[in-house]
Chains A and B, each alone.
Chain A
Protein backbone atom coordinates (compact mmCIF):
# COMPACT_ATOMS: atom_id res chain seq x y z
CA UNK A 1 0.00 0.00 0.00
CA UNK A 2 2.19 2.74 -1.23
CA UNK A 3 -0.25 5.64 -0.77
CA UNK A 4 -2.04 6.32 2.48
CA UNK A 5 -4.43 9.26 2.55
CA UNK A 6 -3.89 11.67 5.41
CA UNK A 7 -7.18 13.39 6.09
CA UNK A 8 -7.51 16.67 7.88
CA UNK A 9 -10.53 16.20 10.05
CA UNK A 10 -10.54 18.52 12.96
CA UNK A 11 -14.02 17.38 13.78
CA UNK A 12 -13.21 15.98 17.15
CA UNK A 13 -14.88 18.29 19.63
CA UNK A 14 -14.63 17.88 23.31
CA UNK A 15 -17.69 18.65 25.33
CA UNK A 16 -15.90 18.17 28.61
CA UNK A 17 -14.95 21.22 30.60
CA UNK A 18 -11.25 21.80 30.07
CA UNK A 19 -9.42 22.83 33.22
CA UNK A 20 -6.31 24.12 31.42
CA UNK A 21 -5.66 27.82 30.71
CA UNK A 22 -7.37 28.98 27.49
CA UNK A 23 -4.08 29.30 25.60
CA UNK A 24 -3.64 25.54 25.83
CA UNK A 25 -7.17 24.78 24.74
CA UNK A 26 -7.84 23.20 21.39
CA UNK A 27 -11.20 22.30 19.87
CA UNK A 28 -10.60 18.64 20.54
CA UNK A 29 -9.24 19.36 24.01
CA UNK A 30 -6.00 17.58 23.14
CA UNK A 31 -2.82 19.08 24.57
CA UNK A 32 0.82 18.04 24.81
CA UNK A 33 2.77 17.57 28.01
CA UNK A 34 6.41 16.61 27.94
CA UNK A 35 8.58 15.66 30.87
CA UNK A 36 12.00 14.28 31.45
CA UNK A 37 11.84 10.76 32.74
CA UNK A 38 8.92 8.49 33.30
CA UNK A 39 5.98 8.53 35.62
CA UNK A 40 5.70 5.34 37.59
CA UNK A 41 2.42 4.59 39.19
CA UNK A 42 1.08 1.60 40.99
CA UNK A 43 -0.53 -1.09 38.92
CA UNK A 44 -4.15 -0.17 38.54
CA UNK A 45 -6.42 -1.63 41.14
CA UNK A 46 -10.07 -0.98 41.66
CA UNK A 47 -9.30 1.13 44.70
CA UNK A 48 -7.46 3.85 42.78
CA UNK A 49 -9.46 3.96 39.62
CA UNK A 50 -12.84 5.07 38.54
CA UNK A 51 -14.67 4.68 35.30
CA UNK A 52 -16.58 7.90 35.12
CA UNK A 53 -19.92 7.11 33.65
CA UNK A 54 -20.81 10.78 33.49
CA UNK A 55 -18.55 11.37 30.51
CA UNK A 56 -19.18 9.27 27.48
CA UNK A 57 -15.91 10.17 25.80
CA UNK A 58 -13.82 8.42 28.36
CA UNK A 59 -14.57 4.78 28.44
CA UNK A 60 -11.38 3.66 30.09
CA UNK A 61 -10.13 4.00 33.59
CA UNK A 62 -7.18 6.03 34.74
CA UNK A 63 -4.88 6.66 37.66
CA UNK A 64 -4.52 10.12 39.09
CA UNK A 65 -0.82 10.75 39.48
CA UNK A 66 -0.64 14.39 40.43
CA UNK A 67 -1.68 17.95 39.87
CA UNK A 68 -0.74 20.70 37.48
CA UNK A 69 -0.51 24.14 39.01
CA UNK A 70 -0.14 27.38 37.10
CA UNK A 71 0.95 29.63 40.00
CA UNK A 72 1.18 32.84 37.97
CA UNK A 73 -1.99 32.28 36.03
CA UNK A 74 -4.93 34.39 37.08
CA UNK A 75 -8.15 33.59 35.23
CA UNK A 76 -9.65 36.91 36.32
CA UNK A 77 -6.99 38.83 34.43
CA UNK A 78 -8.17 37.85 31.00
CA UNK A 79 -5.52 39.70 29.06
CA UNK A 80 -4.39 37.34 26.32
CA UNK A 81 -1.26 39.42 25.75
CA UNK A 82 -0.01 38.63 29.21
CA UNK A 83 2.19 35.60 28.84
CA UNK A 84 4.18 35.84 32.06
CA UNK A 85 2.20 33.03 33.60
CA UNK A 86 3.59 30.69 30.94
CA UNK A 87 7.00 30.84 32.57
CA UNK A 88 6.00 28.75 35.55
CA UNK A 89 4.11 25.51 35.82
CA UNK A 90 4.36 23.09 38.71
CA UNK A 91 3.57 19.46 38.36
CA UNK A 92 3.15 17.77 41.71
CA UNK A 93 3.63 14.07 41.33
CA UNK A 94 2.55 11.94 44.23
CA UNK A 95 3.00 13.70 47.52
CA UNK A 96 6.68 14.48 47.65
CA UNK A 97 7.86 15.49 44.23
CA UNK A 98 7.46 18.61 42.21
CA UNK A 99 8.49 19.26 38.63
CA UNK A 100 9.26 22.78 37.57
CA UNK A 101 8.27 23.62 34.05
CA UNK A 102 6.77 26.11 31.64
CA UNK A 103 4.35 26.52 28.80
CA UNK A 104 6.19 26.81 25.52
CA UNK A 105 5.00 27.94 22.13
CA UNK A 106 6.09 25.32 19.64
CA UNK A 107 8.36 26.59 16.89
CA UNK A 108 6.74 24.07 14.64
CA UNK A 109 3.29 23.04 15.79
CA UNK A 110 2.49 19.37 16.05
CA UNK A 111 -0.26 17.63 14.19
CA UNK A 112 -1.80 14.85 16.21
CA UNK A 113 -2.38 11.93 13.89
CA UNK A 114 -4.27 8.74 14.42
CA UNK A 115 -5.60 5.92 12.33
CA UNK A 116 -8.95 6.80 10.93
CA UNK A 117 -11.89 5.17 12.57
CA UNK A 118 -13.82 3.32 9.97
CA UNK A 119 -17.44 2.92 10.70
CA UNK A 120 -18.28 0.97 7.57
CA UNK A 121 -15.50 -1.50 8.10
CA UNK A 122 -17.28 -4.52 6.73
CA UNK A 123 -18.73 -2.81 3.71
CA UNK A 124 -15.48 -1.11 2.77
CA UNK A 125 -13.50 -4.27 3.22
CA UNK A 126 -15.89 -6.08 0.93
CA UNK A 127 -15.60 -3.44 -1.76
CA UNK A 128 -11.87 -3.52 -1.78
CA UNK A 129 -11.68 -7.25 -1.85
CA UNK A 130 -13.59 -7.09 -5.13
CA UNK A 131 -11.72 -4.17 -6.65
CA UNK A 132 -8.28 -4.84 -5.33
CA UNK A 133 -5.78 -6.16 -7.81
CA UNK A 134 -3.77 -9.16 -6.75
CA UNK A 135 -2.83 -8.90 -3.11
CA UNK A 136 -3.67 -5.25 -2.61
CA UNK A 137 -4.07 -4.83 1.09
CA UNK A 138 -6.96 -3.12 2.73
CA UNK A 139 -6.21 0.57 2.60
CA UNK A 140 -5.04 2.21 5.77
CA UNK A 141 -6.11 5.77 6.37
CA UNK A 142 -4.78 8.39 8.75
CA UNK A 143 -6.24 11.62 9.96
CA UNK A 144 -4.97 14.76 11.59
CA UNK A 145 -7.31 15.27 14.51
CA UNK A 146 -5.70 18.37 15.96
CA UNK A 147 -2.94 20.90 15.54
CA UNK A 148 -1.29 21.79 18.83
CA UNK A 149 0.73 24.99 19.08
CA UNK A 150 1.77 25.00 22.73
CA UNK A 151 3.14 22.40 25.04
CA UNK A 152 3.72 22.14 28.74
CA UNK A 153 7.29 21.03 29.24
CA UNK A 154 9.11 19.91 32.36
CA UNK A 155 12.74 19.65 31.44
CA UNK A 156 14.31 19.39 34.87
CA UNK A 157 14.45 16.61 37.38
CA UNK A 158 11.82 16.59 40.10
CA UNK A 159 12.60 18.36 43.38
CA UNK A 160 11.39 17.14 46.74
CA UNK A 161 8.60 19.01 48.47
CA UNK A 162 7.03 18.64 51.91
CA UNK A 163 4.20 16.18 52.25
CA UNK A 164 0.65 17.22 52.65
CA UNK A 165 -1.03 17.06 55.98
CA UNK A 166 -3.85 15.06 54.60
Chain B
Protein backbone atom coordinates (compact mmCIF):
# COMPACT_ATOMS: atom_id res chain seq x y z
CA UNK B 1 0.00 0.00 0.00
CA UNK B 2 2.62 2.42 1.10
CA UNK B 3 4.76 1.92 -1.94
CA UNK B 4 1.81 2.24 -4.27
CA UNK B 5 0.87 5.61 -2.97
CA UNK B 6 4.45 6.70 -3.16
CA UNK B 7 4.84 5.88 -6.80
CA UNK B 8 1.44 6.35 -8.38
CA UNK B 9 0.39 9.52 -6.67
CA UNK B 10 0.19 13.09 -7.78
CA UNK B 11 1.73 15.42 -5.22
CA UNK B 12 -0.77 17.95 -3.89
CA UNK B 13 0.31 21.25 -2.44
CA UNK B 14 -1.30 24.44 -1.25
CA UNK B 15 0.07 27.81 -2.32
CA UNK B 16 0.81 30.25 0.45
CA UNK B 17 -0.42 33.22 -1.50
CA UNK B 18 -3.87 32.24 -2.66
CA UNK B 19 -5.33 34.02 -5.66
CA UNK B 20 -8.82 35.46 -5.88
CA UNK B 21 -10.97 33.30 -8.08
CA UNK B 22 -14.74 33.01 -8.10
CA UNK B 23 -16.69 30.01 -9.30
CA UNK B 24 -19.77 30.69 -11.36
CA UNK B 25 -22.17 27.88 -12.06
CA UNK B 26 -23.09 27.87 -15.73
CA UNK B 27 -26.61 26.89 -16.81
CA UNK B 28 -26.84 25.26 -20.23
CA UNK B 29 -27.87 28.44 -22.03
CA UNK B 30 -24.88 30.40 -20.82
CA UNK B 31 -22.49 27.52 -21.39
CA UNK B 32 -23.46 27.39 -25.05
CA UNK B 33 -22.75 31.08 -25.39
CA UNK B 34 -19.33 30.75 -23.81
CA UNK B 35 -18.43 27.73 -25.91
CA UNK B 36 -19.49 29.43 -29.13
CA UNK B 37 -16.67 30.41 -31.49
CA UNK B 38 -17.50 34.08 -31.09
CA UNK B 39 -18.89 34.42 -27.61
CA UNK B 40 -21.11 37.46 -27.10
CA UNK B 41 -20.35 40.15 -24.60
CA UNK B 42 -21.43 39.34 -21.07
CA UNK B 43 -21.68 41.81 -18.27
CA UNK B 44 -22.54 41.98 -14.64
CA UNK B 45 -24.94 44.75 -13.80
CA UNK B 46 -26.31 46.08 -10.60
CA UNK B 47 -28.93 48.67 -10.06
CA UNK B 48 -27.63 52.11 -9.25
CA UNK B 49 -28.42 53.16 -5.71
CA UNK B 50 -31.68 54.99 -5.85
CA UNK B 51 -31.18 58.49 -4.59
CA UNK B 52 -34.85 59.38 -4.91
CA UNK B 53 -36.02 57.17 -2.06
CA UNK B 54 -34.65 57.87 1.36
CA UNK B 55 -34.90 54.26 2.49
CA UNK B 56 -31.81 52.17 2.05
CA UNK B 57 -32.09 50.04 -1.02
CA UNK B 58 -32.69 46.45 0.09
CA UNK B 59 -31.42 45.25 -3.26
CA UNK B 60 -28.09 46.99 -2.91
CA UNK B 61 -26.21 43.73 -3.14
CA UNK B 62 -28.31 42.52 -6.00
CA UNK B 63 -26.42 41.85 -9.18
CA UNK B 64 -27.32 40.22 -12.46
CA UNK B 65 -25.41 38.62 -15.27
CA UNK B 66 -26.55 39.80 -18.67
CA UNK B 67 -26.15 38.19 -22.04
CA UNK B 68 -27.16 40.37 -25.01
CA UNK B 69 -30.83 39.61 -24.44
CA UNK B 70 -31.24 37.56 -21.26
CA UNK B 71 -30.84 38.30 -17.60
CA UNK B 72 -29.74 35.99 -14.82
CA UNK B 73 -29.84 36.85 -11.18
CA UNK B 74 -26.59 36.13 -9.36
CA UNK B 75 -26.91 34.37 -6.05
CA UNK B 76 -24.02 33.63 -3.80
CA UNK B 77 -24.13 30.17 -2.23
CA UNK B 78 -21.90 29.49 0.74
CA UNK B 79 -20.32 26.09 0.99
CA UNK B 80 -19.07 24.42 4.12
CA UNK B 81 -16.65 22.33 2.12
CA UNK B 82 -13.22 23.52 1.10
CA UNK B 83 -13.25 24.13 -2.64
CA UNK B 84 -9.84 24.55 -4.18
CA UNK B 85 -8.91 25.68 -7.64
CA UNK B 86 -5.76 23.85 -8.60
CA UNK B 87 -3.08 24.41 -11.15
CA UNK B 88 -0.25 22.18 -12.30
CA UNK B 89 3.17 23.23 -11.17
CA UNK B 90 6.62 21.86 -11.23
CA UNK B 91 7.61 21.75 -7.62
CA UNK B 92 10.46 20.37 -5.65
CA UNK B 93 10.18 20.22 -1.93
CA UNK B 94 13.27 19.99 0.17
CA UNK B 95 16.06 18.64 -1.93
CA UNK B 96 13.93 16.57 -4.26
CA UNK B 97 13.95 16.87 -8.01
CA UNK B 98 10.99 19.05 -9.08
CA UNK B 99 8.01 16.94 -10.11
CA UNK B 100 4.67 17.86 -11.65
CA UNK B 101 2.44 18.76 -8.75
CA UNK B 102 -1.17 19.77 -8.39
CA UNK B 103 -1.16 22.98 -6.44
CA UNK B 104 -4.20 24.64 -4.89
CA UNK B 105 -3.90 28.26 -5.95
CA UNK B 106 -7.26 29.51 -4.72
CA UNK B 107 -9.85 28.58 -2.15
CA UNK B 108 -13.49 29.46 -2.72
CA UNK B 109 -15.87 29.62 0.21
CA UNK B 110 -18.83 30.50 -1.95
CA UNK B 111 -19.98 29.80 -5.45
CA UNK B 112 -22.24 31.89 -7.63
CA UNK B 113 -25.45 30.54 -9.06
CA UNK B 114 -27.37 31.98 -11.96
CA UNK B 115 -31.13 32.12 -11.98
CA UNK B 116 -32.91 33.27 -15.11
CA UNK B 117 -35.21 36.21 -14.56
CA UNK B 118 -37.80 37.53 -16.89
CA UNK B 119 -38.72 41.06 -16.08
CA UNK B 120 -39.84 44.07 -18.00
CA UNK B 121 -37.43 46.96 -18.14
CA UNK B 122 -40.30 49.42 -18.45
CA UNK B 123 -40.77 50.03 -14.69
CA UNK B 124 -37.06 50.79 -14.27
CA UNK B 125 -37.07 53.12 -17.24
CA UNK B 126 -40.23 54.83 -16.03
CA UNK B 127 -38.51 55.60 -12.79
CA UNK B 128 -35.36 56.82 -14.48
CA UNK B 129 -36.86 58.94 -17.24
CA UNK B 130 -38.46 62.35 -16.72
CA UNK B 131 -41.81 62.81 -18.43
CA UNK B 132 -41.83 64.96 -21.50
CA UNK B 133 -45.15 66.73 -21.37
CA UNK B 134 -46.28 69.45 -23.71
CA UNK B 135 -48.91 71.74 -22.22
CA UNK B 136 -50.10 74.61 -24.38
CA UNK B 137 -47.01 74.27 -26.50
CA UNK B 138 -44.68 74.54 -23.53
CA UNK B 139 -42.54 71.86 -22.02
CA UNK B 140 -41.77 72.23 -18.38
CA UNK B 141 -39.37 69.48 -17.51
CA UNK B 142 -35.79 69.49 -16.36
CA UNK B 143 -33.59 67.18 -18.38
CA UNK B 144 -31.70 64.51 -16.54
CA UNK B 145 -28.58 65.10 -18.59
CA UNK B 146 -28.23 61.37 -19.13
CA UNK B 147 -27.74 59.64 -22.42
CA UNK B 148 -29.66 56.52 -23.31
CA UNK B 149 -26.51 54.46 -22.79
CA UNK B 150 -26.12 55.89 -19.32
CA UNK B 151 -29.75 55.20 -18.43
CA UNK B 152 -29.66 51.64 -19.74
CA UNK B 153 -26.45 50.86 -17.88
CA UNK B 154 -28.32 51.53 -14.63
CA UNK B 155 -31.12 49.06 -15.38
CA UNK B 156 -30.33 45.60 -14.02
CA UNK B 157 -31.48 43.84 -17.18
CA UNK B 158 -29.89 42.81 -20.44
CA UNK B 159 -29.49 45.30 -23.22
CA UNK B 160 -32.04 43.50 -25.37
CA UNK B 161 -34.67 43.71 -22.64
CA UNK B 162 -33.81 47.37 -22.03
CA UNK B 163 -34.28 48.14 -25.71
CA UNK B 164 -37.73 46.52 -25.67
CA UNK B 165 -38.78 48.70 -22.73
CA UNK B 166 -37.23 51.78 -24.28
CA UNK B 167 -39.19 51.26 -27.48
CA UNK B 168 -42.37 50.41 -25.59
CA UNK B 169 -42.23 53.67 -23.64
CA UNK B 170 -41.31 55.60 -26.81
CA UNK B 171 -38.40 56.98 -24.83
CA UNK B 172 -36.11 59.33 -26.70
CA UNK B 173 -32.91 61.28 -26.38
CA UNK B 174 -33.20 65.00 -26.87
CA UNK B 175 -30.77 67.82 -26.15
CA UNK B 176 -28.46 65.70 -24.04
CA UNK B 177 -31.16 64.16 -21.89
CA UNK B 178 -33.47 61.18 -22.08
CA UNK B 179 -37.23 61.43 -21.70
CA UNK B 180 -40.43 59.50 -22.05
CA UNK B 181 -43.46 61.28 -23.45
CA UNK B 182 -46.74 61.65 -21.61
CA UNK B 183 -49.88 60.23 -23.19
CA UNK B 184 -51.02 63.79 -23.68
CA UNK B 185 -47.86 64.59 -25.63
CA UNK B 186 -48.14 61.42 -27.67
CA UNK B 187 -51.72 62.25 -28.57
CA UNK B 188 -50.70 65.74 -29.76
CA UNK B 189 -47.72 64.52 -31.76
CA UNK B 190 -49.72 61.69 -33.29
CA UNK B 191 -52.47 64.05 -34.45
CA UNK B 192 -49.79 66.15 -36.06
CA UNK B 193 -48.21 63.11 -37.76
CA UNK B 194 -51.60 62.05 -39.06
CA UNK B 195 -52.30 65.54 -40.36
CA UNK B 196 -48.89 65.75 -42.04
CA UNK B 197 -49.41 62.35 -43.67
CA UNK B 198 -52.82 63.39 -44.92
CA UNK B 199 -51.54 66.71 -46.29
CA UNK B 200 -48.61 65.09 -48.04
CA UNK B 201 -50.59 62.11 -49.30
CA UNK B 202 -48.31 59.72 -47.40
CA UNK B 203 -49.60 56.23 -46.82
CA UNK B 204 -48.36 55.39 -43.37
CA UNK B 205 -48.70 51.64 -43.78
CA UNK B 206 -46.44 51.48 -46.80
CA UNK B 207 -42.81 52.57 -46.87
CA UNK B 208 -42.35 56.32 -46.62
CA UNK B 209 -39.36 58.55 -46.05
CA UNK B 210 -39.20 59.46 -42.38
CA UNK B 211 -37.60 62.73 -43.38
CA UNK B 212 -40.67 63.84 -45.36
CA UNK B 213 -42.96 63.63 -42.38
CA UNK B 214 -40.34 65.29 -40.17
CA UNK B 215 -40.07 68.18 -42.64
CA UNK B 216 -43.80 68.57 -42.86
CA UNK B 217 -43.99 68.74 -39.07
CA UNK B 218 -40.97 70.98 -38.74
CA UNK B 219 -42.89 74.08 -37.75
CA UNK B 220 -44.64 72.41 -34.87
CA UNK B 221 -41.42 72.17 -32.93
CA UNK B 222 -41.72 68.62 -31.66
CA UNK B 223 -38.39 66.89 -31.14
CA UNK B 224 -37.73 64.83 -34.27
CA UNK B 225 -36.28 62.18 -31.96
CA UNK B 226 -39.73 61.77 -30.42
CA UNK B 227 -41.40 61.45 -33.82
CA UNK B 228 -38.96 58.80 -34.98
CA UNK B 229 -39.37 56.99 -31.65
CA UNK B 230 -43.11 56.81 -32.35
CA UNK B 231 -42.43 55.44 -35.85
CA UNK B 232 -40.12 52.86 -34.36
CA UNK B 233 -42.71 51.81 -31.79
CA UNK B 234 -45.39 51.43 -34.44
CA UNK B 235 -43.17 49.95 -37.13
CA UNK B 236 -44.25 46.84 -38.93
CA UNK B 237 -42.38 43.85 -37.56
CA UNK B 238 -40.27 43.30 -40.65
CA UNK B 239 -39.40 46.99 -40.98
CA UNK B 240 -35.77 47.98 -40.43
CA UNK B 241 -36.18 50.92 -38.10
CA UNK B 242 -32.63 52.18 -38.47
CA UNK B 243 -32.85 53.13 -42.12
CA UNK B 244 -34.28 56.33 -43.65
CA UNK B 245 -37.59 54.60 -44.32
CA UNK B 246 -40.51 54.00 -42.03
CA UNK B 247 -43.57 51.87 -42.40
CA UNK B 248 -46.24 51.61 -39.75
CA UNK B 249 -48.22 48.57 -38.77
CA UNK B 250 -51.89 49.32 -39.17
CA UNK B 251 -53.10 47.14 -36.29
CA UNK B 252 -50.46 48.38 -33.87
CA UNK B 253 -51.07 51.98 -34.83
CA UNK B 254 -54.85 51.94 -34.48
CA UNK B 255 -54.50 50.23 -31.11
CA UNK B 256 -51.84 52.68 -29.97
CA UNK B 257 -53.87 55.72 -31.00
CA UNK B 258 -56.94 54.45 -29.19
CA UNK B 259 -55.10 53.73 -25.95
CA UNK B 260 -53.15 56.96 -26.12
CA UNK B 261 -56.27 59.06 -26.58
CA UNK B 262 -57.90 57.32 -23.63
CA UNK B 263 -54.86 57.74 -21.43
CA UNK B 264 -54.50 61.38 -22.38
CA UNK B 265 -57.96 61.94 -20.95
CA UNK B 266 -57.39 59.81 -17.89
CA UNK B 267 -58.79 61.35 -14.76
CA UNK B 268 -61.66 62.98 -16.54
CA UNK B 269 -64.81 61.52 -15.13
CA UNK B 270 -67.11 62.02 -18.07
CA UNK B 271 -65.37 61.12 -21.27
CA UNK B 272 -68.22 60.14 -23.52
CA UNK B 273 -67.71 56.90 -25.38
CA UNK B 274 -69.15 58.38 -28.54
CA UNK B 275 -66.85 61.37 -28.30
CA UNK B 276 -63.86 59.09 -27.81
CA UNK B 277 -64.75 56.93 -30.80
CA UNK B 278 -65.14 59.97 -33.00
CA UNK B 279 -61.81 61.42 -31.85
CA UNK B 280 -60.16 58.07 -32.43
CA UNK B 281 -61.54 57.69 -35.95
CA UNK B 282 -60.45 61.23 -36.73
CA UNK B 283 -56.93 60.50 -35.59
CA UNK B 284 -56.25 57.62 -37.95
CA UNK B 285 -55.93 57.65 -41.73
CA UNK B 286 -59.26 57.69 -43.53
CA UNK B 287 -59.07 54.10 -44.73
CA UNK B 288 -58.40 52.82 -41.20
CA UNK B 289 -61.46 54.40 -39.59
CA UNK B 290 -63.36 51.13 -39.55
CA UNK B 291 -60.66 49.62 -37.31
CA UNK B 292 -61.27 52.16 -34.57
CA UNK B 293 -63.78 50.05 -32.69
CA UNK B 294 -63.92 49.20 -29.00
CA UNK B 295 -63.16 45.57 -29.82
CA UNK B 296 -59.70 46.68 -31.02
CA UNK B 297 -58.74 47.83 -27.53
CA UNK B 298 -60.71 45.27 -25.54
CA UNK B 299 -59.32 44.61 -22.06
CA UNK B 300 -57.82 48.10 -22.00
CA UNK B 301 -60.88 50.16 -21.16
CA UNK B 302 -63.75 50.23 -18.72
CA UNK B 303 -67.18 51.72 -19.12
CA UNK B 304 -68.01 53.52 -15.87
CA UNK B 305 -71.51 54.18 -17.21
CA UNK B 306 -73.42 53.37 -20.36
CA UNK B 307 -72.31 56.67 -21.84
CA UNK B 308 -68.74 57.09 -20.69
CA UNK B 309 -65.41 55.38 -21.12
CA UNK B 310 -62.15 55.36 -19.18
CA UNK B 311 -58.83 53.64 -19.41
CA UNK B 312 -58.69 50.46 -17.40
CA UNK B 313 -56.91 50.53 -14.08
CA UNK B 314 -54.39 53.17 -13.12
CA UNK B 315 -52.05 52.45 -15.94
CA UNK B 316 -48.63 53.62 -14.94
CA UNK B 317 -47.78 54.39 -18.54
CA UNK B 318 -50.37 57.11 -18.64
CA UNK B 319 -48.36 60.10 -17.71
CA UNK B 320 -50.78 62.78 -16.67
CA UNK B 321 -50.16 66.45 -16.70
CA UNK B 322 -49.05 66.49 -13.06
CA UNK B 323 -45.40 67.07 -12.41
CA UNK B 324 -43.31 63.96 -12.16
CA UNK B 325 -42.77 63.92 -8.39
CA UNK B 326 -45.88 61.98 -7.37
CA UNK B 327 -45.23 59.59 -10.23
CA UNK B 328 -41.79 58.81 -8.95
CA UNK B 329 -43.31 58.24 -5.56
CA UNK B 330 -45.91 55.82 -6.81
CA UNK B 331 -43.49 53.81 -8.88
CA UNK B 332 -41.00 53.54 -6.06
CA UNK B 333 -43.79 52.31 -3.84
CA UNK B 334 -44.42 49.50 -6.29
CA UNK B 335 -40.71 48.94 -6.38
CA UNK B 336 -40.81 48.41 -2.68
CA UNK B 337 -43.66 45.92 -2.88
CA UNK B 338 -41.65 43.99 -5.37
CA UNK B 339 -38.73 43.76 -2.94
CA UNK B 340 -41.05 42.50 -0.28
CA UNK B 341 -42.38 39.74 -2.47
CA UNK B 342 -38.89 38.75 -3.54
CA UNK B 343 -37.75 38.55 0.05
CA UNK B 344 -40.70 36.53 1.23
CA UNK B 345 -39.97 33.88 -1.34
Which residues of A are in contact with B by a Cβ distance under 8 Å?
A: 2-8, 14, 16-20, 28-39, 41, 44, 47-50, 52, 54-55, 57-58, 60-71, 90-92, 108-115, 142, 144-145, 147, 155, 161-162, 164-166
Contact segment of B83-91, B256-264, B268-276? B83-91
B44 in contact (CB, < 8 A): yes
Q: Which residues of A contact B15 (CB under 8 A)?
A: 58, 60-62
Q: Which residues of B contact A155 (CB under 8 A)?
A: 81
Distance in angstroms from B226 CB to nearest chain A CB is 25
Known: A34-B81, A34-B84, A49-B16. A2 touches B154 (CB 8 A): yes
Q: How many angstroms between the C-alpha atoms of A39 and B43 in the bound complex?
A: 35
Contact B20 A115 (CB under 8 A): yes
Contact B14 A39 (CB under 8 A): yes
Q: Kindly identify, within residues 127 to 157 of chain B, every residue whose CB is under 8 Å from any CB belonging to chain A.
A: 153-154, 156
Distance in angstroms from B143 CB to nearest chain A CB is 14
Q: Mark B87-111, 1 if CB is under 8 A from A, else 0.
A: 1111111100011111110000001
| Cross-chain pair count, CB within 8 angstroms | 215
Q: Which residues of B contact A147 (CB under 8 A)?
A: 26, 31, 34-35
Contact B88 A109 (CB under 8 A): no
Interface of B is mostly: strand
Q: How many angstroms between the C-alpha atoms of A68 and B13 in the bound complex?
A: 10
Contact A35 B81 (CB under 8 A): yes
Q: How many angstroms between the C-alpha atoms of A61 and B19 in the bound complex?
A: 13
Known: A50-B92, A90-B5. A114 touches B98 (CB 8 A): no
Q: Which residues of A contact B85 (CB under 8 A)?
A: 30-32, 112
B323 in contact (CB, < 8 A): no
Q: Which residues of B contact A113 (CB under 8 A)?
A: 21-24
Distance in angstroms from A46 CB to nearest chain B CB is 11
Contact B21 A67 (CB under 8 A): no
Q: How many angstroms between the C-alpha atoms of A122 and B279 in the bound complex?
A: 63
- In the complex, which residue of chain B has the Cβ closest to the Cβ of A107? B25
Other than A2-B48, A47-B94, A110-B25, give 20 A-B pairs with Cβ distance below 8 A. Answer: A4-B45, A5-B43, A8-B42, A14-B88, A17-B90, A17-B100, A32-B23, A34-B79, A34-B81, A57-B87, A58-B90, A63-B13, A67-B10, A69-B5, A110-B26, A110-B111, A111-B25, A112-B21, A114-B21, A144-B24
Q: Which residues of B contact A54 (CB under 8 A)?
A: 90, 98
B65 in contact (CB, < 8 A): yes
B331 in contact (CB, < 8 A): no
Q: How many angstroms between the C-alpha atoms of A66 and B35 in the bound complex?
A: 34
Interchain residue pairs with CB less than 8 A apart (10): A3-B43, A6-B44, A8-B42, A29-B87, A34-B81, A35-B84, A36-B80, A36-B81, A62-B15, A67-B10
- In the complex, which residue of chain B has the Cβ closest to the Cβ of A48? B93
Contact B94 A50 (CB under 8 A): yes
B82 in contact (CB, < 8 A): yes
Distance in angstroms from A86 CB to nearest chain B CB is 15
Q: Mark B32-67, 1 if CB is under 8 A from A, else 0.
A: 001100010111111110000000000000000100
Q: How many angstroms between the C-alpha atoms of A54 and B153 in the bound complex?
A: 46
Q: Which residues of B contact A68 (CB under 8 A)?
A: 9-12, 102
B306 in contact (CB, < 8 A): no
B219 in contact (CB, < 8 A): no
Contact A67 B11 (CB under 8 A): yes
Of residues A7, A35, A64, A68, which shows the largest number of chain B Cβ atoms within 10 Å of its Cβ?
A64
Q: Which residues of A contact B26 (CB under 8 A)?
A: 108-111, 147
Contact of B153 among A2, A7, A142 (CB under 8 A): A2
Distance in angstroms from A39 CB to nearest chain B CB is 7
Contact B82 A109 (CB under 8 A): no
Q: Which residues of A contact B111 (CB under 8 A)?
A: 110
B342 in contact (CB, < 8 A): no
